Amino acid sequence: MSKKEQTISKGFWIKLGLVPFVMFAFAFALVPLYDTFCDITGLNGRNSNKAYEETDLSSIDKSRTVSIDFLAATSSGFPVTFYPTVKKMDVIPGKMYTINYIAENRSDKVIIGQAIPSVAPGIASQHFKKLKCFCFSNQTFEPKVPKEMPVMFFVDSALDKEIVNITLSYNFFKVKDASPTPVAGL
């Protein structure tokens, strides 16, 4: 084999070895990149969750209402009953509202879950501001104990006047079973 062929062969193997590494690094970085993209664009119902106090309270638009539909779902195999206390609500843009969701673990184990929110239509997600939400962190569900989980929100009055209906939906999925906590002295 000539020296030129050896150099080409060596370069080929180096490139071939780097491809899986680059693919792994890209896959590893994809989740934080996607989260950042969703936070910036409001895609998938995510928004900046700026404090209500930062909004102009004079921007309450009493001349119109927006109908909000509340939906709840759980992933397959997640043994928690999950539903909103109110299915539909008419809101005045700029005004603060609170709704509760109820969840009850039907299993005999402590379960940890996470809710993923979604706002439709997508353009409305930039104007649907959640200030307090169970979706901001993992939730622990004790066996057979109902849990009330509030969502405090407002619809920004800058929402396009053509949008008269918004759907807020949550999908709960199991993060893990909580490991039993050892009892001292046993």
The average pLDDT across 137-155 equals 94
Q: Which 3 state secondary structure label does DSSP give 132?
A: strand
pLDDT, tens digit, for every residue of 161-182?
999 999 999 999 888 765 555 4
The residues that bridge with 173 in the sheet, in sequence order, are 114
How far is it, in rounded angstroms, from Cα 136 to Cα 151?
10
Say what the pLDDT of residue 77 is: 86
pLDDT, mean of residues 86-102: 95
pLDDT at residue 123 tops 80: yes
Q: Mean pLDDT lowest for which of 31-45, 67-81, 149-163?
A: 31-45
List, as one string, the DSSP characters of 61-92: -TT--EEEEEEEEE-TT--EEEEES-SEEEE-
Task: Give the sign of the dihedral formed by CA 26, CA 30, CA 36, CA 40.
Answer: positive
| Neighbouring residues of 92: CB distance < 8 A, sequence distance ≥ 6 | 60, 61, 62, 64, 65, 66
Decide if domain 49-177 falls under CATH 1.10.1040.20.
no
pLDDT of 53 above 60: no
Model confidence at 183: pLDDT above 50:
no
Which residues, at least 6 apart from 98, have a Cβ–Cβ distance to it below 8 Å? 132, 150, 151, 152, 153
In the structure, what pLDDT confidence band is assigned to residue 21 with cuts at 50, 70 and 90?
confident
- Please list the residues that pair with 66 across neighbouring strands: 91
Triad 114, 119, 120: Cα angle to 5°: 145
Instruction: Give the global pTM.
Output: 0.67
Mean pLDDT across the chain: 81
Cα gap 37→103, rounded to integer Å: 30
What is residue 39's predicted lDDT score, i.e. its pLDDT? 62
Asked if pLDDT for residue 12 goes beyond 70, the answer is: yes
Helix (H, G, I), strand (E, B) or coil at 129: strand
- Is the pLDDT at 156 greater than 50? The verdict is yes
Residue 49 identity (one-letter amino acid):
N
Percent of the chain past pLDDT 70, that is, above it, reads 75
- The answer, yes or no, to whether residue 44 has pLDDT greater than 80, is no
Q: Residue 134 pLDDT > 90, yes or no?
A: yes
**pLDDT for res 186:** 40
Across 79-92, average pLDDT: 95
Domain ranges of the chain: 1-41, 49-177
